[in-house]
């Protein structure tokens, strides 16, 4: 079963993303949105402490591999400098060391699509999407372990975008737009931790609820408040080469700390030997999880919004 969440989008031509004047959409200051299971609506989360993300060794055609590793480490730090005090989840990165791809293998990965913006043998992704995260989780309503994240893989659109670590001085390849790598990875790591977008992208029939039980605002609303549009988990980039999503907002932090904070000291790390390296292995079945489970794939993407719309990816 596959469910898609609108990706981070390009800037809106001629539109103002930050609402001015009277805010028409009620959105509490401490509101955030969690990804939920398809069947029972249970918020998804990791049930282990250590989540290590690794770059696919094939890398990017725009950015040297060592700089990609550094950008991922900075994106992780953008989160952990605020969430490490909660001590419920230890998000980390590891330098590239092997070829990885989207798979339920328990190895969270960052994969650049350099030739085609699609997975081999699958339909193309939305070309406006800068990045897309696939979260795989247990989907067995009423059983122990329902909603447990097993893996999460990030794909980056190196076909329609020129990635850079220095957007102020970057020059886009012909037919592409500049995308800041750290900005994109910071947003996608929110999905890896179980966060959803801050506005309704119409992938679901009705608006999801925030942590206060309130329906989230429509992404198409021209008067979205800054609490929605300034968040790292807002699914649109405000401009080409945007860097603002590097800055985690209090709502983004609460979305991680409120879930994982109460689990501090209760979750273990489960290292697995993989090619001679020690890494987190969230895909390994733990005691208490069902022996048979359905894996639901949730795709959450970041898109450069050329116009006010929501699209599937």
* Other beta carbons less than 10 A from residue 158's beta carbon: 23
pLDDT tens, 171-181? 999 999 999 99
pLDDT tens, 119-130? 999 999 999 999
Contact indicator for 113, 155 with CB cutoff of 8 Å: yes
Residue 47 in tokens: 């049930």
Query: In the chain, how long is the greatest CA-to-CA distance?
Result: 58
pLDDT tens, 130-174? 999 999 999 988 888 899 999 999 999 999 999 999 999 999 999
When divided into structural domains, the chain yields a total of: 1
pLDDT > 70? residue 304:
no
- The confidence score (pLDDT) of residue 166 equals 97
Domain for residue 309, yes or no? no
- The confidence score (pLDDT) of residue 303 equals 67
C-alpha to C-alpha distance for 250 and 252, rounded to whole angstroms: 5
Strands (E), 50-207: 50-55, 90-94, 109-113, 129-138, 149-157, 161-164, 177-180
Domain for residue 312, yes or no? no
CA angle 203, 206, 209 (to 5 degrees): 100
Query: 144 Cβ partners below 8 Å, 6+ apart?
Result: 288, 289, 290
For residue 215, give Cα distances in angstroms to 17, 33, 237, 257.
20, 10, 23, 21
pLDDT > 70? residue 237:
yes
- The confidence score (pLDDT) of residue 279 equals 38
pLDDT tens, 71-86? 999 999 999 999 999 9
Contact indicator for 81, 136 with CB cutoff of 8 Å: no
pLDDT tens, 246-297? 999 999 999 999 999 999 999 988 765 454 333 333 333 333 333 233 445 5
Domain for residue 230, yes or no? yes
Quick one: average pLDDT of 99-116?
Answer: 96
Domain for residue 130, yes or no? yes
For residue 3, give Cα distances in angstroms to 233, 258, 304.
18, 25, 20
Q: What percent of the chain has pLDDT over 70?
A: 77
Contact indicator for 70, 164 with CB cutoff of 8 Å: no
Domain for residue 70, yes or no? yes
Q: Which domain holds residue 247?
A: 2-303
- The confidence score (pLDDT) of residue 208 equals 92
Domain for residue 308, yes or no? no
Strands (E), the chain: 2-5, 50-55, 90-94, 109-113, 129-138, 149-157, 161-164, 177-180, 271-274, 277-280, 295-303
Domain containing residue 124: CATH number: 3.40.390.10
- The confidence score (pLDDT) of residue 291 equals 28
Domain for residue 110, yes or no? yes
Using DSSP's 3-state secondary structure scheme, residue 75 falls into helix
- Predicted TM-score of the model (pTM): 0.83
- The confidence score (pLDDT) of residue 254 equals 96
Domain for residue 310, yes or no? no
- The confidence score (pLDDT) of residue 21 equals 24
Query: 85 Cβ partners below 8 Å, 6+ apart?
Result: 257
Contact indicator for 30, 212 with CB cutoff of 8 Å: yes
Buried-state track 77-101, b at ≥16 Cβ within 10 A, e below 16: bbbbebbeebebbbbbbbebeeebe
Contact indicator for 1, 296 with CB cutoff of 8 Å: yes
C-alpha to C-alpha distance for 135 and 104, rounded to whole angstroms: 9
Under the banding of pLDDT at 50, 70 and 90, the label for residue 105 is very high
């Amino acid at each position: 079963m596959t469910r898609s969440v609108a990706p981070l989008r390009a800037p809106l031509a001629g539109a103002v993303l930050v609402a001015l004047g009277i805010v028409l959409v009620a959105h509490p200051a401490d509101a955030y949105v969690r990804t939920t299971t398809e069947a029972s609506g249970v918020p998804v989360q990791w049930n282990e402490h250590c989540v290590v993300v690794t770059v696919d060794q094939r890398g990017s055609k725009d950015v040297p591999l060592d700089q990609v590793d550094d950008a991922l480490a900075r994106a992780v730090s953008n989160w952990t400098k605020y969430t490490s005090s909660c001590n419920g989840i230890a998000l980390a990165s590891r330098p590239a060391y092997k070829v990885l791809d989207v798979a339920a293998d328990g190895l969270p990965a960052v994969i650049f699509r350099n030739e085609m913006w699609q997975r081999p043998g699958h339909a193309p992704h939305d070309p406006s999407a800068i990045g897309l995260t696939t979260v795989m989780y247990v989907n067995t309503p009423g059983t122990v372990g329902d909603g447990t994240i097993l893996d999460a893989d990030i794909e980056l659109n190196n076909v329609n975008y020129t990635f850079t670590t220095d957007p102020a001085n970057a020059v886009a390849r012909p037919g592409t737009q500049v995308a800041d790598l750290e900005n994109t990875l910071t947003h996608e790591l929110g999905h890896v931790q179980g966060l959803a977008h801050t506005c309704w992208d119409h992938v679901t029939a009705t608006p999801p609820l925030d942590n206060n039980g309130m329906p989230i605002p429509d992404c198409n609303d021209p008067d979205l408040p800054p609490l929605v549009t300034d968040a790292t988990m807002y699914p649109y980039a405000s401009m080409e080469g945007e860097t603002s999503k590097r800055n985690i907002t209090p709502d983004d932090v609460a979305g991680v700390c409120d879930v994982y904070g109460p689990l501090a000291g209760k979750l273990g790390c489960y290292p697995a030997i993989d090619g001679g390296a020690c890494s987190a292995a969230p895909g390994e079945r733990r005691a208490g999880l069902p022996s048979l489970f359905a894996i639901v794939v949730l795709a959450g993407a970041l898109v450069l919004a050329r116009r006010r719309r929501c699209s599937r990816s």
